[in-house]
Amino acid sequence: MSNAMTTKQQAIPEMALSEADLMDVLRNSLYPGAQDASIKLVIGYCKAAGLDPMQKPVHIVPISVSTGKKDENGWDKKEMRDTVMPGIGLYRTQASRSGVHAGTSEPEFGEDVTETLDGVNVTYPKWCRVTVTKILPNGMLAQYTAKELWKENYATRSAKSDAPNAMWKKRAYGQLAKCTEAQALRKAFPEFGAQPTADEMEGKALDNGVTVYDGNTGEVTTQRKEPSKPQLHSYTDDQLEANIAGFFAAIQSGKKSADEIIAMISTRYQLSGDQIARIRSLQITHTAEAGQE
């Protein structure tokens, strides 16, 4: 535990808690709703790092992790796992207690960008810049600047979507500012560690390279790559023959176009070029018949 925690326990020894009592306090106050196993992670982390858990220096962050298995459609199965990560407040506290922190600048933002990401309209700052000033052993001041792009930091609502999650849509500036400040503090005080903060990782998936965490620099980047698509079975000619009349009826009634039918089948099966041509011929036939009426 920290020196402050140790001093308090020496002054008021009756306030010292057993681990069971400490878990009760954390469960009912600082981490309501958390599983016991996750709270034990917090206690273990704080013991190893000499931190006072009552100051809530770390957060419990659910991270989406690939299980290495596939679902019935061929997509990667994922599960949520609780991890313990420092908060931006811990980095600020460590910098303040170092005695050589000479200030952190207010975040500076780049121009606004408005675009639609997977159907969600969002406005965000293109970048954010934060500078941390540190007193060097020779008395000179050194500045450490971090510049982070919103598109490289924001968390998506799922691994299959490019839309931002609720927090990154609502607080586009605040979330990016915390991520940028954390990076600037890591650059100025590498001795504090390189672990990303909970603010940077909350809502992100840590699997298949979707989110990349550099353990040496602490940088967290998100690659917007498409998830691997499941292998589709071929649509047989027998299946086409069994459904061709129904397809034509749907086209005649105006319920579906040939391209809509092709798209519908393609979500589950692999169509051959000849099969696609045949379905499209139904549209041509319908158009010709309609013109003769």
pLDDT number for residue 222: 52
pLDDT number for residue 16: 67
pLDDT number for residue 110: 97
H/E stretch holding 234 reads strand 233-234
- What value does the CA radius of gyration of the chain take, rounded to a whole number of Å? 28
pLDDT number for residue 4: 43
Under 8 Å CB-to-CB from 54, ≥6 apart: which residues?
A: 5, 25, 30
Beta bridge partners of 2: none
Under 8 Å CB-to-CB from 194, ≥6 apart: which residues?
A: 186, 214, 215, 216, 217, 218
Rounded average pLDDT per 10-residue block, the chain, 293 residues: 40 59 89 90 89 88 75 72 87 93 97 93 96 96 97 83 89 94 94 80 56 48 50 86 92 90 89 91 83 64
CB 213 within 8 A of CB 222: no
CB 76 within 8 A of CB 208: yes
CA-based angle 10:13:18, to the nearest 5? Answer: 115
